[in-house]
A and B are shown apart, each in its own frame.
Chain A
């Protein structure tokens, strides 16, 4: 018997069978397994019908050779994979996601630290401020950035007013402008899981770290960040997935000179009506984004594992 088991107040009773609730069915038994899975069945069936099946269809469509879906072959994949322009688009899409993740981390983590140290009242205020953008449509938030970043927008009025530049800065339709707007648009997706993890960190650990002689910086790097790693990884994952697929923001803020996979998929599916090639690009987006997400999740597990166990 393990030490934990021997210290359990129920350990002695288990032997006598007195005062214990009826034993739960073993998860290994057939009936128990069914009872465990039954509540999830409706969702699982809906998931299979409305997500897994269309996804499989997407894979199948990508292997049609022509727009009329008449023959099978590898034409679309050859066209996609053996063209440097498509690889550039994939790279630009992933890079946009990584830059957005980096920017949200740089701006979001200090806010999360302020949140951790704040009183319950200010924590509620901060939480409201963080959640507030989610109450507005992403389309509205995106168009608001045109007003902010435009040639005659708020930023340029400020820059010209302060005499910091002679001509208006070009902020719209640049990658910098797009990353900036996506940082604001996606910030709640980073902060919500990070704040949830931060609020659960035991304050005594900071005191212990300080009493053992660690500087605040060392406490941050060696205690707080590793403890918050699962939340940070979850946030990064959400921000990355959302920003790489942010079709509206990429189109409206980025403009026609920044080509990303979601716009390419839309053009092929809706304007050109070439579903097989659109499906190929969609599968490429899915696979490439999933690969980066797997790396982020692994990094989160490694960073978290250092302190958890």
Chain B
């Protein structure tokens, strides 16, 4: 008996001798999580407001891969089973593509300590919303009067100052769908929008690449465009004369969502990362200038520049079914190229 205790002690001691440094290392490292992130403002915002609390609360290092949504889908598809990152951040179109192609782990929202603060519309079996985006019309109040709706964009004085972009982005796609609806089209019929655009094409101030639009507006190349509230508030913070107008047919809304990549080896850390992103403190910080995100945590008071006072009001906004839009988007892009080409 007496002999067994030392043996146990010795075993325990040996185990401890091997385990303690490992535990210490693990605690010191705390692990890491790699998340895809939109380049630019998103990357900066997450570096400033998400990485520090993630490290402080869970001792997890956040590594970010700056990639646009479509690039994330393409990179994951090319990786063939070895995910290049643990988390996706996606707009609705690529999100549907990701679901259809089996790119996400099943999501269990019960693992989030902030679950109760998230509107149920933001959570499903595949991920969780991390920011809302509201799309409408931006205009320069010193150059043109406030437009009433999308139909106004095709009349003077707006049409000659209008800058448009195509179907490459989520905000461009849903804006063109809304324009089509005004002229008799639908979510799956954008021909009326293209027909109206073709009529006014010579008058348009700019047909630009999506990334170039804020710069074109800032430089006065165009004074009215369809865009999201985040672009408007960001430009406004830089001193640009710009205001957001809610179209008479209503603003459109969509959510940017976080998903765990299928085959990720850091699933626990990914949940902790997502939990930190949607936490009240982080969402509040992300809402402030210069980032101007629309928060998803119901505990955060919405900023004055937004066209709603609570997230519940977003239920009134126009939303779109991307499972119907996605298959049509490729042909729409080609149609836009052909119709707009000089």
Which A positions have Cβ atoms within 8 angstroms of B? 85, 88, 143, 146-147, 150-153, 172-173, 175, 251-252, 255-259, 263-264, 267-274
Contacts and interface: CB of A to CB of B under 8 A. Distances in A.
A175 B341 CA distance: 12
Contact of A255 (B68, B201, B208): B208
A269 B333 CA distance: 12
A251 B68 CA distance: 17
B220 A150 contact: yes
Interface string B162-183: 0011111000000000000000
B209 A257 contact: no
Contacts of A153: 219
A255 B212 CA distance: 8
A255 B219 CA distance: 15
A256 B169 CA distance: 13
A256 B225 CA distance: 14
B211 interface: yes
Contact of B209 (A151, A251, A269): A251
Nearest to B223: A151
A296 B272 CA distance: 58
A271 B215 contact: no
Nearest to B332: A272
B70 A273 contact: yes
B220 A256 contact: no
A224 B73 CA distance: 54
A198 B240 CA distance: 49
B207 A251 contact: no
Given A270-B70, A272-B333, A273-B97, A256 B221 contact: no
A151 B140 CA distance: 15
A4 B100 CA distance: 75
Given A151-B220, A271-B168, A272-B330, A251 B212 contact: yes
Given A88-B341, A251-B212, A267-B333, 6 more contacts: A152-B220, A173-B221, A255-B207, A256-B336, A259-B341, A273-B97
B220 A271 contact: no
B216 interface: yes
Nearest to B165: A256
Interface of B: 68, 70-71, 73-74, 77, 97, 164-168, 201, 205-209, 211-212, 215-216, 219-221, 329-330, 333, 336-338, 340-342
A256 B336 CA distance: 9
Contacts of A274: 330
Nearest to B167: A271
Contact of A257 (B216, B219, B341): B341
Contacts of B205: 151
A184 to B, nearest CB: 18
Contact of B71 (A251, A255, A258, A270): A270
B73 to A, nearest CB: 7
A80 B258 CA distance: 37
A85 B206 CA distance: 22
Contact of B212 (A252, A259, A268): A252
B212 A264 contact: no
Nearest to A256: B207
A226 B246 CA distance: 65
20 contacts: A85-B337, A85-B338, A85-B341, A88-B341, A146-B215, A150-B216, A172-B206, A173-B206, A255-B206, A256-B165, A256-B208, A257-B201, A257-B340, A257-B342, A263-B209, A268-B330, A270-B71, A271-B70, A271-B168, A271-B333
A268 B215 CA distance: 25
A185 B68 CA distance: 26
A256 B166 contact: yes
Q: Which of A251, A255, A263 has the most CB of B within 10 A?
A: A255
Contacts of B329: 271-272
Contact of B219 (A152, A175, A268, A271): A152
B206 to A, nearest CB: 6
A75 B104 CA distance: 31
A172 B73 contact: no
Nearest to A153: B219
B216 A146 contact: yes
